[in-house]
């Protein structure tokens, strides 16, 4: 890989300063920044709803809000976080920015489609915000029928249309990534030289284009049920509400992997760079992403063990859910082994990655409890499930998101943030997270049901809920702090060198920070393997020696 960086040339941030130059841009990097701003906004909205939920649960009698308000608060939290943060965040921000750079392309294959996807995202988001403010949505993020189709009085129709529209934004991004990764790779960038970040996003995009249309049309059918009173899912009209659950989870289980595979993709990059080592078992990590994508489509029934599906279906889905643990475990073991005999550098992105490793493992292991039919029947609909999926979604995706933000921040903006604060903050995220969700495992196991706004029947649960709320407050602080120091660094942070982490990969080695409009001067030619780190030489260099001298 060649290194040549011209400093005089304008970078992508300097190519036009008008609002139109941002809102009509076709540059994948600028679209990524647009997404960064809007996704951060929706994350803030979802967090407010989460804090409302946590505050309500500090007292067993649920005195702060009414049942309905509480239903609307947790529904808003779920919908915003799933559809407008988790599914979108890493692919649309980091995938958008980095996939063309990592494969040596000038842009994504369809730049206009890319911009359109952001507009669809915003349109869907605004529809949901309007729905939330003009009456709210109280059917949970799962929109189960007949609650959503008949009984709910909230603004379900508008919220569902919003989710439908935002689904298209995902589909556009997925189609774009697939075409780009297949056809736009630079000379020498073979499939087995692709960074694992790209492999992870490739697998994600496959799930997106196969799954998202299913949930989109299913939600649209619910809209028709509400508006035109047709009855595909209404029992009075001969329909079957469980069919909705099947079609909803046919997407929404794979969607869990849409949320976590990009996170895993990020972790592979951070682990390699901050262990100064090749990712152990590169081929297995790459193929395990595809394995997860394939298996993700045959496990949805584990959400429905108590939804009147037959025992044999239950056994089948239980078995396949155990199977999907295998590729996930391959990744966790291989990341751990990447650090082995590496030269581990505990910079802030690495602290987030290590946090991911621990929390995702807890989330994954408790997933195995829930995949066992007997255990699941016992804890279905309790806080045990809530804790489990937050360990995967927050402990996994959110930590990976923060890790990615810190790792690629100098690439995005050419500025460094205060590393000392960032490190302490990364540890606070880990502590706050565990304080929030560990007690929920316990209280869930003891029988606290999810989606209840009081628990006067079991006041002894209060201690767990108070611990959880305290943790959530710590977590909230640890999420506000980066907003401040990152914004500060944009203006006052020291200028970053092109490659502050001495990382490998085209985006670091062949491009400036921030990159120029077309990413590279000319077309980069790739020779040699991906992740060409040499931990031994770097360790020796720290002691002032070369390999020959040693």
Partner 1 sequence: MISLKKMNQPQDTVYEQFEDLAQQQETYVLGMWSFLVTEVMFFGVMFMSYIVYRWKYQPYFYALHKELDWRIGGINTAILLASSFSVALAVHYHQRKKKMNVLVCLGFTNLCAISFIVIKLLFEYIPKWNHGHYPGPGFTWDNPYVPSHIAQLWFSLYFGTTGLHGLHVLIGVILFSVLMYLIAVDHPSISDYLPTEMLGLYWHFVDIVWIFLYPLYYLMPK
Q: How far is CA 430 from CA 228, 272, 470, 547, in A?
A: 48, 21, 14, 38
By beta-carbon proximity to partner 1, the closer residue of 146 and 231 is 231
Phi, psi of 528 (to 5 degrees): 85, 170
User: Considering only residues 1, 48, 147, 179, which one is a binding residue for partner 1 as defined by CB under 8 A?
Assistant: 179
User: Considering only residues 22, 41, 224, 454, which one is a binding residue for partner 1 as defined by CB under 8 A?
Assistant: 224
Part in contact with partner 1 (CB under 8 A); list of ranges 6-14, 41-49, 209-217, 446-454: 209-217
Residue 108 binds partner 1, judged by CB under 8 A: yes
As beta bridge partners, residue 519 has 516
CA distance linking residue 490 with residue 492, whole number of Å: 6
Provide CB contacts within 8 A for 521, sequence distance 6+: 4, 6
Q: Evaluate whether 291 touches 327 at the Cβ level (below 8 Å).
A: yes
Would you give the binding string for partner 1 spanning residues 462-501, x where CB under 8 A is met? ----------------------------------------
Would you give the binding string for partner 1 spanning residues 394-433, x where CB under 8 A is met? ----------------------------------------
Minimum distance from residue 113 beta carbon to partner 1 (Å)? 8
Part in contact with partner 1 (CB under 8 A); list of ranges 215-223, 414-422, 437-445, 541-549: 215-223
Residue 232 binds partner 1, judged by CB under 8 A: yes
Minimum distance from residue 360 beta carbon to partner 1 (Å)? 29
Q: Is 11 helix (H, G, I), strand (E, B) or coil?
A: strand
Minimum distance from residue 342 beta carbon to partner 1 (Å)? 36
CA distance linking residue 84 with residue 80, whole number of Å: 5
Residue with tokens 């767990």: 464
Q: Is 116 helix (H, G, I), strand (E, B) or coil?
A: helix
Candidates 269, 281, 280; CA nearest to 340 is 280
By beta-carbon proximity to partner 1, the closer residue of 126 and 523 is 523
CA distance linking residue 271 with residue 394, whole number of Å: 19
Residue 174 binds partner 1, judged by CB under 8 A: yes
Minimum distance from residue 468 beta carbon to partner 1 (Å)? 38
Residues 236-275 close enough to bind partner 1 by CB under 8 A? 236-240, 243, 247
As beta bridge partners, residue 449 has 382
CA distance linking residue 374 with residue 491, whole number of Å: 56
Tokens for 360, please give them: 């995702």
H runs (alpha helix) in 58-155: 67-79, 96-103, 111-133
User: Considering only residues 230, 290, 421, 438, which one is a binding residue for partner 1 as defined by CB under 8 A?
Assistant: 230
Residue 229 binds partner 1, judged by CB under 8 A: yes
Minimum distance from residue 150 beta carbon to partner 1 (Å)? 13
User: Considering only residues 16, 111, 358, 447, which one is a binding residue for partner 1 as defined by CB under 8 A?
Assistant: 111
Residues 516-545 close enough to bind partner 1 by CB under 8 A? 518, 523
How many degrees, rounded to 5, is the angle at CA 416 between CA 36 and CA 520?
70
DSSP state for residue 515 in the 8-state scheme: P
User: Considering only residues 54, 71, 96, 107, which one is a binding residue for partner 1 as defined by CB under 8 A?
Assistant: 107
Candidates 492, 161, 474, 503; CA nearest to 350 is 503
Minimum distance from residue 391 beta carbon to partner 1 (Å)? 30
Compute how many residues bind partner 1; rule: CB under 8 A.
42
Part in contact with partner 1 (CB under 8 A); list of ranges 122-130, 220-228, 253-261, 466-474: 220-228
Minimum distance from residue 173 beta carbon to partner 1 (Å)? 11
By beta-carbon proximity to partner 1, the closer residue of 229 and 547 is 229
Would you give the binding string for partner 1 spanning residues 66-105, x where CB under 8 A is met? ---------------------------------------x
User: Considering only residues 79, 158, 196, 221, which one is a binding residue for partner 1 as defined by CB under 8 A?
Assistant: 221
User: Considering only residues 25, 148, 218, 338, which one is a binding residue for partner 1 as defined by CB under 8 A?
Assistant: 218
By beta-carbon proximity to partner 1, the closer residue of 240 and 539 is 240
Q: How far is CA 278 from CA 1, 71, 197, 272, in A?
A: 16, 47, 14, 6
Residue 183 binds partner 1, judged by CB under 8 A: yes
Q: How far is CA 418 from CA 182, 346, 348, 431, in A?
A: 38, 15, 10, 20
Phi, psi of 218 (to 5 degrees): -65, -45
Q: How far is CA 20 from CA 15, 26, 97, 365, in A?
A: 12, 11, 20, 48
| 3-class SS shares of the chain: helix, strand, coil, % to 5 | 70, 0, 30
CA distance linking residue 85 with residue 19, whole number of Å: 24
The answer to whether the peptide bond before residue 514 is cis (omega within 30 degrees of 0) is yes
By beta-carbon proximity to partner 1, the closer residue of 24 and 523 is 523
Residue 510 binds partner 1, judged by CB under 8 A: no
Residues that bind partner 1 (CB under 8 A): 105-111, 171, 174-176, 178-180, 182-184, 209-214, 216-218, 221, 224, 228-232, 236-240, 243, 247, 518, 523
């Amino acid at each position: 890989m060649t290194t040549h960086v011209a400093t005089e040339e304008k970078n992508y941030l300097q190519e036009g300063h008008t609002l139109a130059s941002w809102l009509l841009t076709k540059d994948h990097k600028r679209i990524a920044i647009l997404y960064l701003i809007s996704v951060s906004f929706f994350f803030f909205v979802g967090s407010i709803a989460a804090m409302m939920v946590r505050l309500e649960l500090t007292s067993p009698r649920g005195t702060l809000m009414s049942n309905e308000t509480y239903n609307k608060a947790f529904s808003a939290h779920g919908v915003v976080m799933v559809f407008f943060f988790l599914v979108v965040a890493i692919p649309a921000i980091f995938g958008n920015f980095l996939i063309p750079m990592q494969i040596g392309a000038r842009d994504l294959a369809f730049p206009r489609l890319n911009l359109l996807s952001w507009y669809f995202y915003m349109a869907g988001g605004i529809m949901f915000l309007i729905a939330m403010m003009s009456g709210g949505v109280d059917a949970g993020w799962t929109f189960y029928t007949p609650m959503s189709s008949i009984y709910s009085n909230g603004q379900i129709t508008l919220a569902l249309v919003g989710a439908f529209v935002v689904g298209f934004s995902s589909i556009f991004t997925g189609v774009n990534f697939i075409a780009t990764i297949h056809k736009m790779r630079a000379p020498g960038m073979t499939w087995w030289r692709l960074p694992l970040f790209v492999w992870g996003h490739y697998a994600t995009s496959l799930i997106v284009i196969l799954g998202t249309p299913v949930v989109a049309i299913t939600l649209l059918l619910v809209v028709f049920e509400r508006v035109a009173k047709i009855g595909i899912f209404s029992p009075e009209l001969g329909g079957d509400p469980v069919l909705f659950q099947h079609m909803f989870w046919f997407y929404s289980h794979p969607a869990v992997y849409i949320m976590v595979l990009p996170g895993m993709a990020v972790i592979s990059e951070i682990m390699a760079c901050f262990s100064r080592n090749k990712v152990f078992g590169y081929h297995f990590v790459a193929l395990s992403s595809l394995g997860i994508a394939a298996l993700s489509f045959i496990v949805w029934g584990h959400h429905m063990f108590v939804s009147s599906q037959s025992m044999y279906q239950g056994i089948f889905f239980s078995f396949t859910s155990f199977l999907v643990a295998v590729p996930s475990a391959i990744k966790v073991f291989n990341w751990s082994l990447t650090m082995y005999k590496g030269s581990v550098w505990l910079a802030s992105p690495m602290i987030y990655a290590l946090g991911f490793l621990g929390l995702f493992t807890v989330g994954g292991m408790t997933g195995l409890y829930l995949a066992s039919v007997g255990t699941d029947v016992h804890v279905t609909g309790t806080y045990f499930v809530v804790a489990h999926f937050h360990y995967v979604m927050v402990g996994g995706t959110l930590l990976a998101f923060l890790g990615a933000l810190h790792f690629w921040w100098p690439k995005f903006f050419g500025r460094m943030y205060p590393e000392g604060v960032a490190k302490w903050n990364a540890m606070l995220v880990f502590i706050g997270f565990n304080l929030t969700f560990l007690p929920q495992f316990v209280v869930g196991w003891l029988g606290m049901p999810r989606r209840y706004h009081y628990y006067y029947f079991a006041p002894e649960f209060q201690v767990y809920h108070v611990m959880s709320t305290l943790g959530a407050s710590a977590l909230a602080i640890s999420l506000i702090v980066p907003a401040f120091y990152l914004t500060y660094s944009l203006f006052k942070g020291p200028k970053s060198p092109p490659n502050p982490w001495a990382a490998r990969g085209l985006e670091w080695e062949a491009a400036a920070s921030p990159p120029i409009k077309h990413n590279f001067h000319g077309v980069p030619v790739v020779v040699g393997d991906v992740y060409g780190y040499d931990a031994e030489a770097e360790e020796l260099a720290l002691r002032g020696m070369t390999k020959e001298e040693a």
